[in-house]
Chains A and B, each alone.
Chain A
C-alpha cells in the first residue's frame, strides 16, 4: 500500500496504435426506482438505448464490430444480456456481443475495452453501454432451499428424494433480495462512504453545495438543449426523473442524515447528497476514424487512456470508494499530464462525500506522499470545471449505465468546446475504481 504506483510506473501509452473515437451516445432518461420503468427489465431498457442509438446514427441492419454492456443487478437468466438486447434491437442479428461486470465501473470499462480493440485494429465499430434496474431486481430463493433443490435434482430414488425434502424448514421459504451491502463487510455503500466522509472531515454544507450544483448544472444543460441528441424519451419520461431544478441549499439543509447515523454529529450524508436507487440504460457508439469518415459520422472525442485501481477496504486500510484516487496519478504520470491540462472533470457522484473526499485526498500532501507514493500533493481540481453538465446526484445512478452517460456527455462537451481534454473518475463496489482521459478532436 505504501507505493501502489511503483508496479505500474513502466507502463507507457501506446504511440503506434490508431485512434478510437467517440461518435455519439444515446440513453433513456433515468427514472427513480419503482417509478416509470418499474415494469421494464434490464433487457427492455438496454434494447431501448440501443434502438435510440441505431435511429440517431442510421445503424439499422448494420453489423457492428462488437457490442459490450452489462448490468450490476442481474438475473441469472440474463447471462447473455447484451447479446439478447442486440437480437431484440434493429442492429444486424450477426452483431456479436458480450457482457461485462465491474460494478459501477461497468459502463466505463466497456468503453475502454472496446476502444482498445478499435485501436488495435481488431474491430472498426463498437457499441458500449450498460443498464440497471433497481425496480426489477432479481430475487433468489434462500440458500437452504437452493441447496435442497439442487440435492433433490441429484437424488435418484424416492427414499433419497424424501430424505432431501425432509431437510426443508419454514425459514427456507423466505426469499433473498439483493442488497447494496458489501459481501465482505456487511456494510452498505452509504455506510462505508460515511466513514470516509467523516475521516476527511467533509462538511454537510460542502456536500449539499455539490448536490445543489449537480441539479443546477443538469437543469441548465437540459434547458440549453445539451441532451437533445444524447437522450431519447422512454415510457413517457423525457428528463431524468430525479432532477430537482428548483432545489435550494435551504431545502437540502432540511434533510435528515440517512448514513453514518452512529457518528452522531458527524452524520452528514442525506438522501439529497447521496444518489437514489435508479433505473436506466445508456449506450455509446465508438469507431475508428476510418469508420466514421466512411459513414459520414461525427467524431466527438478520442478515447486516450484509462487506468483501474483497487483498495483493501476489507481490512480497514482504505475507504471503499477511494480506488480512483489511486488510479489517477498512475494514469496522469503515464501521459505526462497534470490536473491543469484538463478542461472538464467528470467525477461520478455516487455520494457528494465521495467526490469531495477524492478532491481532498489529491490536495493532501501527506496522503499523496504516504499512500500514493508521490513527491507532494497531486493537485487541485478547478471546481468551475467539475461536472458542468450535472452528474449522478441529479441524474440518478443506474449503476452500469453511468459510464455511458458520462462518456457521451463529456465527448459532446469536448466537441462543443473544440479543444482540450476531459478526465473521468468512477468509483465502484468491491473497493474498485476506473479513471479515463478523453480529448477533443483537432479541428
Chain B
C-alpha cells in the first residue's frame, strides 16, 4: 500500500462540493462495473501529521452532545477530526464508489486511551473490504489516530453504495432480521429540525442530507436526517460510565432518524463481578415501532501507563 501525505486535514465542504460536481449524474461506478467487471479499491493510505484539536471546537462539540466540558476528547470528536482524511480517500478519482448518497451502515471504534486536547495527533486512513451487500456494495473506511507513537483510537466506518453492483466480490446475503421488540425505555432524545445543522456546525460535516429538506430530497431522503455520528457520539457519551477512559464501541444504523424526531432510548448495562463491563444501547421510533440504531460500549483492559 502506498502512502499519500497530505499537508493538512482536507475540508469536508470542499470535498462535498467537488463530489457534487463530479457525481451528477450519479456514478463513475456504472462505467467501471459494467465495463471491467471487477473494481478495486485504491491501494493507498492518506496521512496527515501534526493535527491539534481546537479548544473552541471541542467545547462546542461537548456542549452539543451533552458531554462534560473537560480536557479529554469525546470519541465522536476524534472521529470528526480524523474522518475527513478518510473522506479524501473516498473522493479520489480512482475510488470505485460515489461519495455522495452513500449510506452510513456501521461504526466500530477502539478508543484505546484517553486523548488530551493538547496532544499532537497523526491520522492515517484507507479503504478496505469492498464487498457486495444485498442492496448494493459496501466498503470499510479505516481511520487510525496515533498519539505519542501509539495508536490511541482506531475506527472503522462501513458505507453502502445503494444499487452499485460489483462482480467478483463475495455476495452478502440478505439476513432475515428479527422483528424489533423495544427494550425497557430509559431516556428520550428530542431532536429539533435543526439538529442536523447544529451538528454540522460543530463537526464540519455539511453533507446536504443533514442541512435542509430540499437538499435532502435532492439526494433521495424524505426529510433531513440526523448525522449518524451525532447519534453515535451521544450514545457513547450516555452509555459509558464516567471515568471509563478505555473502551470499544459499535453502532449499527437500521433506519435514518428523520428530523425533527423523538427517539426512544434504552441503555442496558451489564456488570461483571460488580464492575461495569458493557452497555447495549438501542434507539427507536416508538410511534412506528421502528428501530433506528443499536450499539454497544465495552470496557477495554486498562493499558499500563508509560
Inter-chain contacts of B184 with A (CB < 8 A): 195, 199, 316
Inter-chain contacts of B286 with A (CB < 8 A): 262
A117 to B286, alpha carbons, bound, how many Å? 50
| Nearest CB of chain A from residue B108's CB, rounded to whole Å | 21
| Nearest CB of chain A from residue B69's CB, rounded to whole Å | 13
Inter-chain contacts of B269 with A (CB < 8 A): 312, 315-317
Chain B residue with the shortest CB-CB distance to A263 = B185
Inter-chain contacts of B194 with A (CB < 8 A): 171
B positions within 8 Å CB-CB of A: 66, 184-190, 194, 238-239, 241, 264-269, 271, 274, 279, 286
A184-B187, A185-B187, A315-B267 known; A2 vs B274 contact (CB < 8 Å): yes
| Nearest CB of chain B from residue A282's CB, rounded to whole Å | 33
A186 proximal to B (CB < 8 A) = yes
Interface SS majority for chain B: strand
Inter-chain contacts of A195 with B (CB < 8 A): 184-186
Inter-chain contacts of B66 with A (CB < 8 A): 184
* Residues B185 and A186 in contact, CB atoms below 8 Å apart: no
A440 to B186, alpha carbons, bound, how many Å? 42
| Nearest CB of chain A from residue B271's CB, rounded to whole Å | 7
* Residues A185 and B239 in contact, CB atoms below 8 Å apart: no
Inter-chain contacts of B189 with A (CB < 8 A): 186
A262-B286, A315-B241 known; A1 vs B274 contact (CB < 8 Å): yes
Per-residue 0/1 for A227-259: is the Cβ within 8 Å of any B Cβ (1 yes, 0 no)?
000000000000000000000000000000000
Chosen A-B contacts, 14 in total, with CB atoms closer than 8 Å, are: A1-B271, A1-B274, A185-B188, A186-B189, A186-B190, A187-B185, A187-B188, A199-B184, A262-B264, A313-B186, A314-B187, A315-B267, A316-B186, A316-B269
* Residues A314 and B186 in contact, CB atoms below 8 Å apart: yes
A1-B274, A262-B286 known; A314 vs B185 contact (CB < 8 Å): no
Inter-chain contacts of A184 with B (CB < 8 A): 66, 187, 238
Per-residue 0/1 for A256-275: is the Cβ within 8 Å of any B Cβ (1 yes, 0 no)?
00000010000000000000
- A1-B274, A2-B271, A187-B185 given; 20 more Cβ-contact pairs under 8 Å: A1-B271, A2-B274, A3-B274, A171-B194, A184-B66, A184-B238, A185-B187, A185-B265, A186-B187, A186-B188, A191-B188, A195-B184, A195-B186, A199-B184, A314-B187, A315-B238, A315-B241, A315-B267, A316-B266, A316-B269
* Residues B188 and A315 in contact, CB atoms below 8 Å apart: no
Task: Give residues 187-205 of A contacting B (CB, 8 Å).
Answer: 187, 191, 195, 199
Q: How many A-B residue pairs have CB under 8 A?
A: 50
Chain B residue with the shortest CB-CB distance to A3 = B274
A308 to B135, alpha carbons, bound, how many Å? 55
| Nearest CB of chain A from residue B230's CB, rounded to whole Å | 15
* Residues A314 and B274 in contact, CB atoms below 8 Å apart: no
**Total count of chain A residues near the partner, CB < 8 A:** 18
A255 to B201, alpha carbons, bound, how many Å? 46
Chain A residue with the shortest CB-CB distance to B189 = A186
Task: Give residues 171-226 of A contacting B (CB, 8 Å).
Answer: 171, 184-187, 191, 195, 199
Task: Give residues 270-317 of A contacting B (CB, 8 Å).
Answer: 312-317
* Residues B238 and A314 in contact, CB atoms below 8 Å apart: yes
Chain A residue with the shortest CB-CB distance to B269 = A315
* Residues B190 and A314 in contact, CB atoms below 8 Å apart: no
Chain A residue with the shortest CB-CB distance to B274 = A2
Chain A residue with the shortest CB-CB distance to B271 = A1
| Nearest CB of chain A from residue B202's CB, rounded to whole Å | 14
| Nearest CB of chain A from residue B72's CB, rounded to whole Å | 19
* Residues B271 and A316 in contact, CB atoms below 8 Å apart: no
| Nearest CB of chain B from residue A155's CB, rounded to whole Å | 16
A199 to B264, alpha carbons, bound, how many Å? 18
Chain A residue with the shortest CB-CB distance to B242 = A314
A9 to B294, alpha carbons, bound, how many Å? 40
A174 to B194, alpha carbons, bound, how many Å? 14
* Residues A315 and B274 in contact, CB atoms below 8 Å apart: no
Inter-chain contacts of B271 with A (CB < 8 A): 1-2
* Residues A185 and B186 in contact, CB atoms below 8 Å apart: yes
Chain A residue with the shortest CB-CB distance to B268 = A316
A312 to B276, alpha carbons, bound, how many Å? 12
| Nearest CB of chain B from residue A186's CB, rounded to whole Å | 4
* Residues B238 and A262 in contact, CB atoms below 8 Å apart: no
* Residues A314 and B267 in contact, CB atoms below 8 Å apart: yes
A314-B238, A315-B269, A316-B267 known; A187 vs B187 contact (CB < 8 Å): yes
Chain B residue with the shortest CB-CB distance to A317 = B269
Per-residue 0/1 for A1-16: is the Cβ within 8 Å of any B Cβ (1 yes, 0 no)?
1110000000000000
Inter-chain contacts of B187 with A (CB < 8 A): 184-187, 314
Inter-chain contacts of A312 with B (CB < 8 A): 269
Chain A residue with the shortest CB-CB distance to B183 = A316
A191 to B286, alpha carbons, bound, how many Å? 14
Please provide the 4 A-B residue pairs with the shortest distance between their CB atoms, ordered closest to farther: A185-B187, A316-B186, A186-B188, A315-B269
A315 to B269, alpha carbons, bound, how many Å? 6
Interface centre among A3, A185, A191, A262 (most CB of B within 10 A): A185
Chain A residue with the shortest CB-CB distance to B188 = A186
A336 to B265, alpha carbons, bound, how many Å? 42
Per-residue 0/1 for A71-112: is the Cβ within 8 Å of any B Cβ (1 yes, 0 no)?
000000000000000000000000000000000000000000
Chain A residue with the shortest CB-CB distance to B66 = A184
| Nearest CB of chain A from residue B275's CB, rounded to whole Å | 10
A184 to B194, alpha carbons, bound, how many Å? 20
A317 to B184, alpha carbons, bound, how many Å? 11
A79 to B268, alpha carbons, bound, how many Å? 38
A1 to B266, alpha carbons, bound, how many Å? 19
| Nearest CB of chain A from residue B297's CB, rounded to whole Å | 10
A317 to B275, alpha carbons, bound, how many Å? 13
| Nearest CB of chain A from residue B107's CB, rounded to whole Å | 21
| Nearest CB of chain B from residue A200's CB, rounded to whole Å | 13
Interface centre among A1, A3, A186, A313 (most CB of B within 10 A): A186
A171 to B241, alpha carbons, bound, how many Å? 34
Chain B residue with the shortest CB-CB distance to A182 = B187
